[in-house]
């Protein structure tokens, strides 16, 4: 897991979280999912984007949790929020009305057009594995101006064909998303533990634009269920800085202590 880069040791997971956090700006109003998105968004807030507005779908607006919440509705989110609104207000006045600039999503499966599956593995009516389902994701993906996806890369997750399309990315590719009447931009990047993928102009197929330090092309190809392409001017992702790593590790350590202690505050 540990990579050797100039003088700094970090894990692939940390590389993914740091890279994702860099996509956020100080001006963003961001709806945050639990797990990796929550790590990336809070890391951004604690480093380069101190004024970013974080919103969790439980209705907490502009929240500044000192530890990472385990659930979307932990007390720590509400107590550190500007205010907390009801769910109809969250989904209608905020998400549907276009008042949120960035959505961060993850999933169990993703395809080449950045559509996501969080519903079932196998058939819908007789699933091999029943996953949690849609939650807020389908409307986050269409309601937010920009979407980022954060997922660890493996051929089980990056698949040729989804078992179920829970959340729309670029649909069947090309202009499909706009033809469906959706005016927001959709997924602008998929940040993984190996590389970053972005939709290619016109086809909207995900292509690798940046490789993380120490990762070979082959590793990415082997970890992707479709015949993934690499962009012509492929670059190397800048490694995490000392500051990013320190803030990230402190945040995780505080969180770990709090959750195991059974206290969400």
Interacting residues toward another protein by CB under 8 A: 34-35, 57-60, 69-75, 77-79, 83-88, 90-92, 95-96, 119, 124-125, 127-139, 142-143, 164-168, 171, 176-177, 180-182, 258-265
Q: Based on CB atoms, which residue is closest to another protein, 76 or 195?
A: 76
C-beta of residue 21 within 8 angstroms of C-beta of residue 43: yes
Closest CA to 109 of 150, 156, 142: 156
C-beta of residue 206 within 8 angstroms of C-beta of residue 112: yes
C-beta of residue 4 within 8 angstroms of C-beta of residue 214: yes
- What the block records as the tokens of 87 is 């769910």
Nearest approach, Cβ of 130 to another protein (angstroms)?
4
d(CA 209, CA 231): 5
Q: Which of 14, 36, 57, 198 is catalytic?
A: 57
Nearest approach, Cβ of 27 to another protein (angstroms)?
24
Q: How many helices (H) and strands (E) does the chain have?
A: 8, 16
Nearest approach, Cβ of 112 to another protein (angstroms)?
15
Q: Based on CB atoms, which residue is closest to another protein, 92 or 250?
A: 92
C-beta of residue 194 within 8 angstroms of C-beta of residue 210: no
Q: Based on CB atoms, which residue is closest to another protein, 33 or 239?
A: 33
Nearest approach, Cβ of 3 to another protein (angstroms)?
27
- What the block records as the tokens of 181 is 């009447």
Nearest approach, Cβ of 82 to another protein (angstroms)?
10
Spell out where the chain has E strands.
3-4, 9-10, 29-32, 53-56, 60-61, 83-84, 102-105, 109-110, 116-117, 120-122, 127-130, 146-150, 186-191, 195-199, 206-211, 229-236
Q: Based on CB atoms, which residue is closest to another protein, 24 or 76?
A: 76
Q: Based on CB atoms, which residue is closest to another protein, 51 or 93?
A: 93
Closest CA to 68 of 218, 227, 251: 251
27 among known catalytic residues: no
Residue numbers annotated as active site:
57
């Amino acid at each position: 897991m540990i990579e050797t880069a100039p003088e700094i040791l970090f894990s692939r997971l940390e590389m993914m979280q740091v890279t994702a956090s860099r996509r956020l700006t100080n001006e963003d109003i961001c709806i945050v999912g639990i797990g990796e998105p929550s790590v990336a968004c809070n890391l951004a807030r604690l480093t380069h984007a101190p004024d970013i507005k974080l919103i969790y779908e439980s209705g907490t607006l502009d929240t500044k949790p000192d530890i990472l919440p385990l659930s979307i509705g932990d007390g720590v989110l509400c107590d550190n929020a500007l205010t907390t609104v009801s769910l109809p207000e969250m989904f209608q006045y905020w998400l549907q009305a276009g008042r949120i600039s960035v959505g961060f999503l993850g999933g169990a499966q993703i395809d080449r057009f950045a559509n996501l599956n969080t519903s079932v593995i196998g058939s819908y009516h007789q699933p091999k594995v029943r996953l949690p389902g849609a939650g807020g994701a389908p409307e986050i993906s269409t309601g937010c101006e920009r979407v980022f996806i954060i997922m660890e890369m493996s051929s089980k997750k990056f698949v040729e064909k989804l078992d179920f399309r829970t959340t729309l990315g670029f649909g069947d590719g090309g202009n499909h998303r706009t033809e469906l009447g959706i005016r927001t931009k959709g997924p602008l990047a998929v940040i993984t533990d190996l590389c970053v993928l972005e939709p290619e102009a016109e086809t909207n197929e995900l292509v690798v634009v940046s490789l993380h330090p120490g990762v070979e092309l082959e590793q990415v190809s082997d970890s992707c269920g479709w015949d993934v392409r690499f962009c012509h001017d492929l670059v190397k992702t800048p490694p995490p800085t000392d500051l990013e790593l320190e803030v990230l590790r402190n945040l995780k350590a505080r969180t770990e202590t709090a959750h195991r202690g059974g206290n969400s505050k």
